[in-house]
Amino acid sequence: MSLPTVLTQHIARRPQRIALLQHIAEQGSITRAAKAAGISYKAAWDAIDELNNLASQPLVERSTGGRGGGGARLSAEGERVLRLYQKVQALQAQILEAAEESSDLDLLGRLMLRTSARNQLQGQVSGLRREGRHDRVSLALGGGLEIEALITHDSTARLELTLGTTVMALLKAGWVRLLGDDEQAEAGSNVLNATVEQVLPDTQGDSEVRLALGNGQTLCAFADAEWLAGQSVGEGRRVRVQFHPSYVLLGVPV
- The model's pLDDT over 147-190, given as tens digits with 9 standing for 90+, comes to 999 999 999 998 899 999 989 899 999 999 999 988 999 999 99
The total of other beta-carbon atoms located within 10 Å of residue 15's CB is 13
Is the Cβ–Cβ distance between 246 and 150 less than 8 Å?
A: yes
Residue 72 to residue 136: CA distance in whole angstroms = 38
> What CATH number has the domain spanning 5-111?
1.10.10.10
Q: Which runs of consecutive H residues, i.e. helices, occur in the chain?
A: 5-13, 15-27, 30-37, 41-54, 76-98, 102-111, 153-158, 225-230
The residue ranking higher by pLDDT, 165 or 54, is: 165
Q: Which runs of consecutive H residues, i.e. helices, occur in 99-240?
A: 102-111, 153-158, 225-230
Is 61 strand, coil or helix? strand
The CATH fold assigned to 116-254 is OB fold (Dihydrolipoamide Acetyltransferase, E2P) (2.40.50)
Is 229 strand, coil or helix? helix
Nearest CA-CA partner of 167 in 74, 254, 75, 43: 254
pLDDT of residue 114: 60
Alpha carbons within 13 angstroms on the beta-carbon side of residue 214 total: 13
To the question of pTM greater than 0.85 for the whole model, the response is: no
Q: Which residues contact 19 (CB under 8 A, 6 or more apart)?
A: 37
Q: What is the largest CA-CA distance in the chain?
A: 62
Is the Cβ–Cβ distance between 249 and 170 less than 8 Å?
A: yes
Rounded to 5 degrees, φ, ψ at 103 are -65, -25
All structural domains of the chain with their residue ranges: 5-111, 116-254
pLDDT band per the 50, 70, 90 thresholds, residue 107: low
- The model's pLDDT over 129-150, given as tens digits with 9 standing for 90+, comes to 999 989 999 999 989 999 999 9
Rg of the chain's alpha carbons, rounded to an integer? 19
Alpha carbons within 13 angstroms on the beta-carbon side of residue 101 total: 4
Torsion over CA: 141, 144, 147, 153 (sign) = positive
Share of the chain above pLDDT 70, in %: 78
Q: How far is CA 120 from CA 33, 65, 73, 238, in A?
A: 23, 26, 22, 21
